[in-house]
Chain A
Amino acid sequence: MLRKKTCVAMLLAGGQGSRLGILTQNVAKPAVPYGGKYRIIDFPLSNCTNSGIDTVGVLTQYQPLELNAYIGSGAPWDLDISNGGVFVLPPYQKVKSSEWYRGTANAIYQNMAFIEQYNPDYVLILSGDHIYKMDYNAMLNFHIRHGADATIAVRPVPWEEASRFGIMNTDSEDRITEFEEKPKNPKSNKASMGVYIFTWEKLRHYLIEDENDKKSSNDFGKNIIPNMLNDKQILCAYNFNGYWKDVGTIESLWEANMDLLQNPMPIDMHDKKWRIFARNPGMAPHYIAKGATVADSLITEGCEVYGNVNHSILFAGVIVEEGASVESAVVMPGSVIRRGAIVRRCIIAENAVIGPGAIVGEEEGKIAVIGHGVTLPAGVSVPAGEQVDENYTF
C-alpha cells in the first residue's frame, strides 16, 4: 500500500493537437517546443512541483515516444521520488477488453486504479495544452474552503470572444449555476481553463456513472460537469487572472512565443520562486560572433549566431550563419539557417536546414512552418502560411 496523498494530478496529454499541422505530425502536442528551451508540458509539470503536488499521472495516447523520453524519470521537475512522482499512463490491455482512451473522462476512468493506490482526497485534472503559471495549491485551498465537489478554474475573456469558449455562469459566491459550451449570447465572460479539482469520492461516482451511459461521449466538459450540475452538486469557479495562452494553433503558438519578447514580459519567467523546469540539453553556452546583430530576442545554449537575429526565439543548438537573417521567427532545437537565408514570421521545427539564400515566410500574412528535419534547398521561397514537410514539392 502506498502512502496516502491529499491530491493527485492527472495530466491529459494524449491529444494530437491537429490544428498545429505538421508540428504535431510526429509528436504529441504537449511535447511541442516553446519559449526557447521548454516544451508545453513543462508548464503544468512545473506548476505541480511548485504547488507541492508530487504525484502526477500523464495520460498519453497519440505519438507518445518523444513525450515519454522527455518525461523520463521526472528528475527535471523533482518528480523522481519514491513515494509519488510522475507516471506515464498509456492505454493498456485489460482482461475483457482493450481500448483507446475514448474521451477525457474515459481516460481518467481507465486509470482509476492508479489514483486509488494513493487514496487521495482530491484529484486535479490538467491538460498539456496551455502556457500559464498557476498555484494549484491555492486553488485546492479554495476548493476545500468552499466545500466544493468540483472546482473549475476560469479566467475572464473579452466579451466579444466569450462565445468561443465554455462559459461558467456563477452566483456572487463563485458557485457555478450554469455551464454553457460556446453560448451565442454569453451571460458571463468566465471561460473554463480545463483545470479541474474534484473531490475524489464524487469524481469516482460520476466517472462510473458516465461510463455506464452508452450515449455519453465521456468528456469532462460535455458530460461530467453538466451531470454534476444537474444533480445540484457544489461546483465552484476559481478565478485566475494571470497569463494564460492556448497554443493550439500555429498562429497562437507563434504569438505565445512572441509574448515572451514583450517588455515587461506578460508571464514572469525570471521568478526564482516559481521556476519553469525543463530537461536540459547540456550544451555549451551560446556564442554571438563579431559581425552578428541581435536585438529583442531570446537565445539559449548551444546556439551560434553569425548573422542577424531580430525579434526571434532561438532554441538550443540553432546556428545562424553569416549573412542569414532571422526576423520574428521561432527556430526550434538543432535547426540551421544557412548563409544569406531569410526567415521571417515563421516557425521552423527541430533539426531543419534552411538552405543558402532560401526565403521562408513574408513580412505580412500567416505564419509559415518548416517541418521537423526538412532540408530546404538553396534559393527556394516559402510563402506565408505554407507548411513544408518532407513531401513538399517546390
Chain B
Amino acid sequence: MKDVMGIIYTGEGDAQLRELTLYRAIAALPVASRYRIIDFLVSSMVNGGIKNVGVIMQKNYHSLMDHLGSGKEWDLHGKIDGLHILPPFLTRENVGLYPGVLDALRSNTNYLVRSKQETIILSNSKIIYNAKMDELVRFFRDTGADMTLLYTTDEGIKRDEAGTYLSLDESHNVTDLEVDPTHPSYNNIYMQVMVIRRELLRELVDKAVAHGLHSMDRDVIQRLVRDGTAKVNAYEYKGMCWNIDSVQSYFKFNMDILDTAKRKGIFREDMPVYTKVRDEMPAYYGDDCSVVNSLVADGCQIEGSIENSVLFRGVKIAPSAHVKNCIIMQDGLVQEGAYIENCILDKQAIIKRNARLIGPQAYPIVIAKDVII
C-alpha cells in the first residue's frame, strides 16, 4: 500500500443539515460520542496502509483543520508524506467555491503531480464506512481496472432523486450507471469512493474542467463507461454504511449505533477508528442516575436519567434531569428538572432548569452551538 494515496473531498452540499453545519463541514460533524465523520474515512485509509492523505477543504474548514491538526492521531505526521490539508485558494479557474470535486481536484493539480503514489483512493466525506482499503486496491490491481468504484446494496443510503446506481456484469464490470434517477433501475449504490491511477485522474480532471464539466459521475465516469475508453469495474463493500445528508440521517446514524451489532459493524476491533484525544477522565455515574441503552463518552457526569441517547465528552446531566432519544455534543449541560426528548444539542448548549423540549421523532429539534434554553 506504499504506492497508494488517499484524497478526501469535503465540499458536499449541506443544506439539509440546518444549524449543524453552520460552522463546520459535514466531514467535521461530531458523531458517535467522540468522533467526527472524517475520522472513519481517514482511519480506513490509514488502517489499509495508506501514508499520504490529502483532505480537500471547502467552506467553514476551521473546525476540520483544528480537528486534524498535524495528523498525529492517525500517524500521519511523519517526514515522508503524511496528512496534506488542501484549503481552497484563488486561481484563474477558482474564485472560492468549487462547483464540484472535479474543480477541487483541478485546483490541487500540483498536489496530484507532486505525490509519488501511482494509485489514488478518492473518497467523499458524507458516507460513513469502515472499509478494508487494501482489499479494494487488491481488487483494482488484480482486475487490471482503470477505475474501481466502491458500492453497496445497503438501501439505507439510497435517496430519492439522488445518488449513482450501477449495473454490473458477472465479472463486476460497470455496464451502465444512472445518476440521480427518480426510480433507479439498479440496486448497486455507488458509495462515492473510487480507486484510480493517479495519472488517469489528473488527465480526466484536466479534460473535464477544460470542457466546463463539473460532475464526476455524469460527465466523467458515465462517459468512460458509455464510450468504453477505460475499464471501469466495481467492488462490493459488505460492511455497514450511513449516508449523512440531513438532520434525520444524522440522527438515525447516532441512534443506529446504540444497537450493539450495528456498532460492532463500524467499530471493528481489527480496524480501530482514531480521533483527536481530549484526555478526559472516565465518565462518572452518580448514585441516583438511571441509564438505559446509551453511549457515553469520557468526561461525562451523569446524575439524572438518560435513555436511548448519545452523549459526547464532558456532558453533564444534573440530578432529576431526563434525557430521552437525544444527541448531546461536547460539554452540553442539562440542568435539574429539565426534560428533553428527540433533540440534538450542538456543542456547549445548555438546557436550563425545568425546561421542557420535545421534538417530533421524525424531525428532531436542533439546538445550535452555545445556545442557552
Binding site for B on A (CB under 8 A): 35-37, 75-76, 260-261, 263, 269-270, 275-278, 280, 282-301, 304, 309, 313-314
CA distance A227 to B277 in the complex (A): 46
- Per the 8 Å Cβ criterion, residues 276-321 of B in contact with A are 277, 279-299, 310
Chain B residues in 8 Å Cβ range of A298: 281-285
Assess the A297–B295 pair: CB atoms within 8 A: no
Known: A75-B72, A285-B296, A287-B260. A36 touches B282 (CB 8 A): yes
Q: Which residues of B51-77 are within 8 A (CB) of A?
A: 72
Q: B236 → chain A, closest Cβ, in Å? A: 25
Chain A residues in 8 Å Cβ range of B279: 76, 275-278, 280
B267 close to A (CB within 8 Å): yes
| Given known A282-B273, A287-B258, A287-B263, contact A37–B281 (CB-CB < 8 A) | yes
Partner of B285 from the list A76, A291, A295 (CB cut-off 8 Å) is A295
Complex Cα distance A153/B259, Å?
Answer: 51
B286 touches A304 (CB 8 A): no
Q: Known contacts A282-B274, A283-B272: does B294 contact A288 (CB below 8 Å)?
A: yes
Chain B CB within 10 Å, residue with most, of A37, A285, A289, A297: A285
Distance (whole angstroms) from the CB of A139 to the closest CB of chain B? 23
The residue on A at minimum CB distance from B297 is A285
Contact call A280/B277, Cβ cutoff below 8 A? yes
Q: Is A37 a contact partner of B282 (Cβ separation < 8 A)? A: yes
Chain B residues whose CB sits within 8 angstroms of the CB of A260 once the complex forms = 281
Residues of B within 8 A of A288 (CB): 291-294, 296
Q: How far is the CB of B217 from chain A (nearest CB, A)?
A: 33
**Bound Cα distance from A290 to B294, whole angstroms:** 8
CA distance A118 to B288 in the complex (A): 54
Residue B33, interface by CB 8 Å: yes
Cα A129 to Cα B32 in complex, Å, equals: 36
CA distance A262 to B283 in the complex (A): 14
Residue among A282, A309, A314 having the largest count of chain B Cβ atoms under 10 Å: A282
Minimum distance in angstroms from A238 CB to a CB of chain B: 27
A304 to B293, CA, bound (A): 10
Residues of B close to A261: CB separation below 8 A: 284
Please report the C-alpha to C-alpha distance between residue A278 and residue B296 in the assembled complex, in whole angstroms.
19
- Minimal Cβ-Cβ distance residue in B for A311: B287
Chain B: which residue is nearest A298 at the CB level? B282
**A284 and B273 within 8 A (CB):** yes
Asked, given contacts A282-B274, A284-B273, A287-B295, whether A294 binds B289 with beta carbons under 8 Å apart, the answer is: yes
Can you show 9 pairs from A to B with CB atoms below 8 A apart?
A: A36-B282, A284-B267, A285-B32, A288-B291, A293-B290, A295-B287, A295-B288, A297-B285, A298-B282
B298 touching A37, Cβ below 8 Å: yes
A-B pairs with beta carbons under 8 A, tally: 99
Other-chain contact of A301, B284, B288, B292, B298 (Cβ < 8 Å): B298
B291 nearest in chain A by CB position: A288
Taken together as a complex, chains A and B put the C-alpha atoms of A314 and B284 apart, in Å, by 11
Q: Once the chains bind, are B282 and A35 in contact (CB under 8 Å)?
A: yes
Given A290-B292, A300-B282, is A284 in contact with B298 using a C-beta cutoff of 8 Å?
no
Name the CB-closest residue of A to B267.
Answer: A284
Using CB atoms, name the residue of chain A closest to B33. Answer: A285
Cβ-closest 7 pairs across A and B: A285-B33, A36-B282, A300-B282, A284-B267, A269-B281, A298-B282, A288-B291
Contacts known (A280-B277, A284-B263); A299 close to B297, Cβ less than 8 A: no
> Do A295 and B286 form a contact, CB below 8 Å, given A284-B32, A288-B292?
yes
* Seed contacts A75-B72, A284-B32, A288-B293; 19 additional CB < 8 Å A-B pairs: A37-B282, A260-B281, A276-B279, A276-B281, A283-B267, A284-B33, A284-B295, A287-B258, A287-B296, A288-B291, A290-B292, A293-B291, A295-B288, A295-B289, A296-B285, A298-B281, A299-B283, A301-B297, A309-B285
Pairwise interchain contact B293-A313, C-beta atoms closer than 8 A: no
Tell me whether B34 is interfacial, beta carbon within 8 Å.
yes
Taking CB atoms, residues of chain B closer than 8 Å to A282 are 272-275
In the docked arrangement, what's the CA distance between A289 and B259, Å? 9
Question: Which A residues are CB-close (under 8 A) to B273?
Answer: 282, 284
Q: Which residues of B contact A283 (CB under 8 A)?
A: 267, 272
Roughly how many angstroms separate A80 CA and B160 CA in the complex, as a whole number? Answer: 50
Residues of A within 8 A of B286 (CB): 263, 295-296
B212 to nearest A CB, angstroms? 45
Give bound CA distance, A295 to B291, whole Å.
9
Complex formed: what's the CA distance from A282 to B46 in Å?
A: 14
Question: Complex Cα distance A292/B294, Å?
Answer: 11
Q: Is the CB of B282 within 8 A of A287?
A: no
Judge whether A300 and B283 touch: CB under 8 Å.
yes
A12 to B277, CA, bound (A): 28
B286 to chain A minimum Cβ distance, whole angstroms, is 7
What's the minimum C-beta distance from A222 to chain B, rounded to whole angstroms? 37
Distance of A291 Cα from B290 Cα, bound (Å): 10
| Most chain A CB atoms below 10 A, which of B283, B288, B310 | B283
Contacts of B285 in A (CB 8 A): 294-299, 309
Q: Which residue on B lies nearest to A261, using beta carbons?
A: B284
Q: Considering the chains assembled together, what is the distance between the CA atoms of A227 and B335 in angstroms?
A: 59
Give bound CA distance, A36 to B273, whole Å. Answer: 20
Task: Indicate the member of B274, B281, B310 with the most A CB atoms within 10 Å.
Answer: B281
- In the complex, per-residue mask of B1-40: 1 if CB is within 8 Å of any chain A CB, else 0: 0000000000000000000000000000000111000000
A101 to B260, CA, bound (A): 50
**Closest CB in chain A relative to B329 CB, distance in Å:** 13
Indicate if the CB atoms of B291 and A292 lie closer than 8 Å: yes
Bound-state Cα–Cα, A271 to B290, Å: 26
CA distance A314 to B267 in the complex (A): 20
Among residues of B, the one whose C-beta sits closest to the C-beta of A297 is B285
B282 touches A313 (CB 8 A): yes
Task: Tell me the complex Cα distance, A164–B287, Å.
Answer: 36
Which parts of B140-187 form the interface with A (CB within 8 Å)?
none
Residues of B within 8 A of A313 (CB): 282
A170–B41 alpha-carbon span in the complex (Å) = 61
Q: How many angstroms between the C-alpha atoms of A49 and B7 in the bound complex?
A: 35
Q: In the docked arrangement, what's the CA distance between A263 and B301, Å?
A: 12
Q: Residues of A contacting B275 with CB < 8 Å?
A: 282
